[in-house]
Homo-oligomer: A and B are copies of this chain.
């Protein structure tokens, strides 16, 4: 008889506890149509504006985190994350924007959707609290994007933007792959050093960000805006 002991990491626990939300994201029409290449471009344009502003706040939240990082090696790691975002993602967004006839100014001056604001504020406030709470709020974005892209990679959509989206977030992209493990590993490491209360907040933040991911796709698909 063999007793198998499997140590389940903090990230694994979080992933398991949010599995239903992940599945709801995979099934959302915005995600389905994006991966099928059939998404109306005006919905993508709405998404792009909101996401460009989201990316800016993501970078700012990482910047806030630097103050809680103690060793130069860790600071390097975090700066690498910020630079990566600044360099890769923001530039790609601008390329897509140009294809849709939008300038960077259009992206930055678009009226923020309340459902985008709630997610962006959630990240920034977490960054004001602690490194662990911030990372728990940040990880659902790369985690869901990579899983969506990985599932779509066998049938890459025949659309210049949507096809590139899938390729760039999937395991086909070596830059993404290289950084992939960093998110979960760093989250696990921060969880080990956290107090019980912080650990609980990390859990809450992760779950909420997963929900916000669904709501972000949903807001873009319906191009909602303000109700008043």
Contact = CB atoms under 8 A, between A and B. Distances in A.
A75 B86 contact: yes
A211 to B, nearest CB: 5
A43 to B, nearest CB: 18
A141 interface: no
Q: How many copies does the complex hold?
A: 4
Contacts of A60: 66-67, 69, 75
A56 B121 CA distance: 18
Nearest to A132: B195
Contacts of A118: 114, 117-118, 121
Interface in A175-219: 193-198, 211, 214-215, 218
A83 interface: yes
A-side interface mostly? helix
Interface of A: 21, 24, 56, 59-72, 75-76, 78-79, 82-83, 86, 90, 104, 108, 114, 117-118, 121-122, 124-125, 127-130, 193-198, 211, 214-215, 218, 226-228
23 contacts: A56-B70, A56-B71, A56-B72, A56-B75, A60-B66, A60-B67, A60-B75, A62-B66, A63-B64, A67-B127, A72-B104, A75-B86, A79-B82, A79-B86, A114-B211, A117-B118, A124-B125, A128-B128, A130-B130, A193-B197, A214-B227, A215-B227, A218-B227
Contacts of A195: 193-195, 198
Nearest to A130: B130
Contacts of A193: 195-197
B114 A71 contact: no
A193 B95 CA distance: 31
